[in-house]
Amino acid sequence: MIRTRVLTEGDWQLWRELRLAALAEAAYAFGSRLADWQGDGDREERWRGRLAIPGSYNILALRDGQPVGVVSGVPTDRDGVVELISMYVSPVGRGRGVGDHLVRAVERWARQVGAGTLRLAVTEGNENAWALYRRNGFRDTGEPGDLMPDNVRREHVMAKSLVD
pLDDT band at 125 (very low <50, low <70, confident <90, very high): confident
pLDDT value for 87: 95
**Across the chain, what does the average pLDDT equal?**
92
pLDDT band at 62 (very low <50, low <70, confident <90, very high): very high
Calpha distance 118→74 (Å, rounded): 10
Q: Using one digit for the tens of pLDDT, what is the confidence trace for 7-57?
A: 999 999 999 999 999 889 887 777 777 877 888 888 999 999 999 999 999
Give whole-number Cα distances, 51 to 65, 90, 91, in Å: 21, 19, 23
Query: Domain 2-161, CATH 3.40.47.10 — does that match?
Result: no
pLDDT value for 31: 75
Query: Is 160 within 8 Å of 138 (Cβ atoms)?
Result: yes
Calpha distance 23→18 (Å, rounded): 9
